[in-house]
Amino acid sequence: MTQAGFDAARLAETRTSMQGFVDAGKVAGVVMLTWRNGEIAQADAIGYRDTEARTPMTRDTLFRIASMTKPVTSVAALMLIEEGRIALESPVEKWLPELANPNVLIDPEAPLSQTEPARAPITLLDLLTHRAGFAYHFTASGELAHAYESVFNGFDAQVDPSRWLDHVAELPLVCHPGDHWHYGISTDVLGALIQRVSGMPLGEFFRTRIFEPLGMVDTAFFVTPEQAQRLSTSYAVAPDGTQFVEDHPSSSRWLDASRFQSGGGGLVSTADDYLSFARMLLARGRLPDGPRLLSHKWVDLMRSDFLTPAQRQIPAFGYPVWRAQGFGLGVSIIDKPAFQLPAGYRSMGSFAWPGALGTSWFADPVENMIGIMLIQRRAEEPFPLAKEYERLIYAAIDD
């Protein structure tokens, strides 16, 4: 048994299992980092950063963490709330006048011209809980889906947040603010709000207020030419199952330091960097040897479910996502462990939010445990790798 309370032989099964995914060509490489009771119990790098070059995966490999960016942006917003510079239930038009008097589609699949005035303004709480009525192109339908493609593609253009917001304001909302949870660009809008209120670029706010205090030296909205040597190749899977390169380190979009700083999904990070961030949240606002970023009460609120019972009945991504968990201020929270699908692993109060490129993490306050599993693979169908990793590390607990 390791000092962190794991059975060593069982914990080793995670490496065997992940190696099987690599050997089968399902994924190029994997980094796993498992922390429990103050110790790193497991740090494994398997496979390759790039399959063609056969560059080995390493623990310090950089990954595009996609929506794992969202909890970071949420923490930044909570810091401004705690300082009294913004307020949780205030309309965002106070800081983002572009979003005053929004219109809402009469029907989610209706033409963009068929709208009605929103019954309520968009609040900061709506942004943090994805109840503002914004969408992504892959969570919208009809004409709105096509319109959101240009908004989403704007992330790769060299535009400032104000110009991007002007474009966003032209689109109707998919539902009335506060009505229900709908995944979309809410956290990107939140990032634009943070930049405007703080008076500094979002990446600079992150660096000075979050990353440097936590020792996160490899997390940013771009990579330097030197860091690009550690950047993983990003792959996507076509409908016929073939895998192709989506973003290569030699020509990566993340080499451009002037690109849009997406608070919803633009960060690059490493397993060790994100572990520091997750540990801060698990410890309710600070690392043991570092400064306090948030009061423990604001972290508690972040880790509380804000969805109504009726909102939790509505499927998300085609699944009953909210059977076992609710959604707080940027993270999901397990509050009905027995209803986890396909099987229950995470304890009551565990919180997380994954990324579209296969990056995942969770923090479990009951087991005092954090699990991080990073890959770079975009696919439309759910990928079982993260679930398998979680199943095996929970089965390895032996104290």
195 pLDDT more than 90: yes
Residue 147, beta-bridge partner list: none
Q: How confident is the model at residue 220 (pLDDT cuts 50, 70, 90)?
A: very high
Q: What is the DSSP secondary structure assignment for residue 280, as one 8-state letter? A: H
**DSSP codes, 10-39:** HHHHHHHHHHHHHHTTS-SEEEEEEEETTE
- Average pLDDT over every residue of 337-342: 84
Report pLDDT for 159.
74
CA dihedral 33, 383, 304, 94 (to 10 degrees): 100
- With vertex at residue 279, the alpha carbon angle to CA 89 and CA 77, rounded to the nearest 5 degrees, is 20
Report pLDDT for 158.
60
Pairing mode, strands 234-237 and 377-378: parallel
Structural domains of the chain ordered from first start: 8-69+202-395 (3.40.710.10), 74-198 (3.40.710.10)
Please state, in angstroms and rounded to a whole number, the distance separating the CA atoms of residues 93 and 75.
21
Tokens 């065997």 found at? 16
Sign of the CA dihedral running 384, 219, 38, 329 = negative
Region at 127 (left for phi over 0; alpha for psi -120 to 50; beta for the rest): alpha
- With vertex at residue 158, the alpha carbon angle to CA 154 and CA 162, rounded to the nearest 5 degrees, is 70
CB 210 within 8 A of CB 200: no
Q: How confident is the model at residue 344 (pLDDT cuts 50, 70, 90)?
A: confident
Residue 290: how many CB atoms within 10 A of its CB?
14
Report pLDDT for 383.
78
- Average pLDDT over every residue of 324-338: 97
Q: What global pTM score does this model have?
A: 0.97
Q: What is the DSSP secondary structure assignment for residue 316, as one 8-state letter? A: B
- With vertex at residue 100, the alpha carbon angle to CA 262 and CA 173, rounded to the nearest 5 degrees, is 65
Please state, in angstroms and rounded to a whole number, the distance separating the CA atoms of residues 208 and 265.
19
Rg of the chain over Cα atoms, rounded to whole angstroms, equals: 20
User: In this structure, what token pair is assigned to residue 25?
Assistant: 């060509």
Tokens 């660009």 found at? 185
Report pLDDT for 242.
87
Longest dimension (CA), the chain: 64
**Span 114-173, pLDDT tens digits:** 999 999 999 999 999 999 999 999 999 999 999 999 888 767 766 788 999 999 999 999
Q: Would you say how long the chain is, in residues?
A: 399
Please state, in angstroms and rounded to a whole number, the distance separating the CA atoms of residues 371 and 34.
5
342 pLDDT more than 70: no
Measured between alpha carbons, how far is residue 140 from residues 171, 287, 317, 329, 395 in Å?
12, 39, 11, 22, 38
Measured between alpha carbons, how far is residue 258 from residues 76, 187, 253, 261 in Å?
21, 19, 10, 8
Reduced to 3 states, what is the DSSP secondary structure of residue 91? strand
247 pLDDT more than 80: yes
User: Could you give the percent of the chain with pLDDT greater than 90?
Assistant: 89
99 pLDDT more than 70: yes
- Average pLDDT over every residue of 218-243: 94
Flag the least confident range among 21-35, 335-349, 363-377: 335-349
CB 378 within 8 A of CB 357: yes
Q: What is the DSSP secondary structure assignment for residue 292, as one 8-state letter? A: B
For all residues of the chain together, what is the average pLDDT? 95
**Span 41-82, pLDDT tens digits:** 999 999 999 999 999 999 999 999 999 999 999 999 999 999
Report pLDDT for 2.
63
CB 277 within 8 A of CB 216: yes
Report pLDDT for 139.
95
CB 98 within 8 A of CB 107: no
